[in-house]
Structure 1
Amino acid sequence: MTAASAAAKSRSSKHCNPTRRGLFPAGMTTWKLTFACKRAEADIFTGDVPELADFDPPPVVMTSEPDESKPDDWQLDVYTEEHPPQALIEAVSALLPSAKGAHTLVELADEDWVTLSQAGLDPVEAGRFFVHTAADAELLPPGRIGLQIEAGLAFGTGQHATTTGCLLTLDALDFVPENVLDLGTGTAILALAAAKTWPGAKGTASDIDPVAIKVSRENVEINGVKIGEAAGEIALYVADGLEEAALAARGPFDLVVANILAGPLIEMAPSIAAALAPGGTLVLAGLLAGQAEAVEAAYRNCGVAPVSRTVIGEWPTLRLLKA
């Protein structure tokens, strides 16, 4: 496999979440172990994976959706500094029953794979937003809102349809929010979009993953937005849903954006609805077209009614309004 093809594989990556956060320095040989899997199996690897925690040196695990027209078919890539031991192969295989142990293993040439994955991302235009890496900063069109997001350790580079759908929905909003929550922020891309669109708003971004918040902090600083709790700033929290007291105290919010998955969105419907101010707007994504009705029903039962959908392929973004 060439370096170019390896970088291209990461373009559709939804989760790039290194297990135990290991990263490989440039100039060393790397091994790549690849499995075909299902989306539900790939989601296991979006956080810490206890089954892989004891391997030393730790592997880097990346999940991707190679073909958005097949939303249930995903790919898992495991990168290791040395030839992967059989115990690691067996541990990963046990978590991917659909693969039935089938995998490929290649030795990669000396490369800085984080840099390569970033270089493989093309800019994304979504309404007034222009999402780009540092390498493409000079391509920002006049009058557009630039969002510099590097590929790396968390979900949300603008490449995936769910993120693009959220950006398009934010772009179409016809009111000026004062208190915004980006729940499950990933890279803080949506919190940044809100902060740059409505610079007077108080922003909050939370994620269950501490690494996502670390990445978010870096992105907020890169994009010239202040980190803090005042209007015009973004406060960052490591939190599981809305259970964190400090996060809950930031509400009620007149705009909540949650790009997660259908299951958690349904499970958290009561708490998300409670955090939303009367008349507030809710933007939900991360669900498949066939899951939209169930998600809408869960929120309708909590007093939050569907208003519109933005659909990109199999991925709808829902806009809802609290009575």
Structure 2
Amino acid sequence: MTSWVARLSCNRREAEAAIALDEPFPGIAPPPILTATEGDGGWLLELHTGTRPSPALLAMLSALAPSAPDPPSVEEIPEADWVVQSQAGQAPVDAGRFHVFPGHRAGEARPGQIALRIEASLAFGTGQHATTAGCLLILDRLARQRRLGRVLDLGTGSGVLAIAAARADRSARVIATDIDPVAIRVARRHAGRNHADGISFGVGAGLGATPIRRAAPFDLVLANILARPLIELAEGLSWTVRPGGLLLLAGLLRGQERAIRAAFGARGFRLVQRLQGDWPILLLARRGRGKPPSRAAAIRAARRGKAAAWRSAGTI
């Protein structure tokens, strides 16, 4: 079997705007995967599909980058090779105590580091992107300071954040969910390879997944997704995080931070820590130490947030 990739030149602003879209290709099913990379020749949008992209889909791609001097190029490639090739040869990533590496770079962790083997696959999240690395850095700081308690990794992708939480605090109860069953299969495999067998995985959209409803509220929620789904999930997350609990948000661009902070500030969250950069990482705490909401209230909030479902390929 083969898959297809369409490539289109763009500038940085167009790349950032394109990958920030919740649904860059409305009406296309199954939704294609869109990535943006920067190389020696400038920025590039890449569209990955299981079948040859239609003229309508290519027109949608072209509309995302008006500055492109040429139409998209289309290439047929072996299935999933684009993922492997994009990660082949990449150096391990160090973030706090965490050392994230592909299998061919095993044995390079320093004494005292927590080595996490995350392979190239059909699920995103290898630690290479600033959002994942930033989340790992803050997660390491938290694990040094306190017990993590009950943890939710929302939109887990490769499972790297859930695995990191489980490895950094063996007493933590970690739940990881994703709308994409392929991502969950990959994450389970990674958990086994990294001796993090205690993680509970589940498939589900937004906050509507059964494992979330059963285990809420959480002491720590990790949400490395995109700005628009985060805003749409703000109300549901206000019930999913226990009073006094923490919420780690990532996947937003610098220009989207004000809207994110306003949405969560209005629902009882305050900023605890921020990592600066083009992709800021926000650690928020839910105000109050009162009685957690009833299960019925939490389920109602989860259903209202269910419309904010996303593909794990939208995670970074």
Same fold (TM over 0.5): yes
Aligned amino acid, residue 117 of structure 1: S
TM-score (normalizing by structure 1): 0.75
Provide closer, same or farther for how the CA distance between residues 143 and 93 of structure 1 changes in structure 2, counting only shifts above 3 A: same
Provide closer, same or farther for how the CA distance between residues 79 and 301 of structure 1 changes in structure 2, counting only shifts above 3 A: closer
Provide closer, same or farther for how the CA distance between residues 265 and 237 of structure 1 changes in structure 2, counting only shifts above 3 A: same
Q: Partners of 1:90 and 1:257 in 2: how far apart?
A: 36
Q: State the partner residue of 2:184.
A: 213
Q: Partners of 1:261 and 1:148 in 2: how far apart?
A: 25
Alpha-carbon offset, residue 188 of structure 1? 0.7
Alpha-carbon offset, residue 45 of structure 1? 9.4
Three-state SS of the structure 2 residue aligned to 1:213 is: helix
Provide closer, same or farther for how the CA distance between residues 272 and 130 of structure 1 changes in structure 2, counting only shifts above 3 A: same
Aligned amino acid, residue 218 of structure 2: F
Q: State the partner residue of 2:274.
A: 309
Q: State the partner residue of 1:277.
A: 242
Alpha-carbon offset, residue 99 of structure 1? 3.9
Aligned amino acid, residue 175 of structure 1: R
Determine if contact 1:93/1:99 at 8 Å carries over to the other structure: no
Q: Does 1:318 align with 2:291?
A: no
Q: In percent, how many aligned pairs have the same letter?
A: 41
Provide closer, same or farther for how the CA distance between residues 208 and 44 of structure 1 changes in structure 2, counting only shifts above 3 A: farther
How many residues matched?
276
- The Cα offsets for residues 287-321 of structure 1, whole Å up to 9 and x where unpaired, read as 1112212211211111111111012x301100111
Output the aligned Cα RMSD: 3.1
Q: Does 1:97 align with 2:69?
A: no
Q: Partners of 1:44 and 1:66 in 2: how far apart?
A: 18
Within 5 A, what are the aligned runs for 1:217-256? 217-226=188-197, 233-256=198-221
TM-score (normalizing by structure 2): 0.77
Alpha-carbon offset, residue 322 of structure 1? 1.3
Gaps of 5+ in 2: 288-316
Q: Does 1:76 align with 2:50?
A: no
2:28 alignment partner, one of 42, 51, 72: 51
Aligned amino acid, residue 182 of structure 2: V
Provide closer, same or farther for how the CA distance between residues 298 and 45 of structure 1 changes in structure 2, counting only shifts above 3 A: closer
Q: Does 1:36 align with 2:9?
A: yes
Within 5 A, what are the aligned runs for 1:1-323? 24=2, 32-36=5-9, 38=14, 39-42=16-19, 51=28, 61=33, 63-66=35-38, 74-78=44-48, 84=52, 88-99=54-65, 102-105=71-74, 115-173=84-142, 174-226=145-197, 233-311=198-276, 313-323=277-287
Gaps of 5+ in 1: 1-22, 25-29, 55-59, 227-232
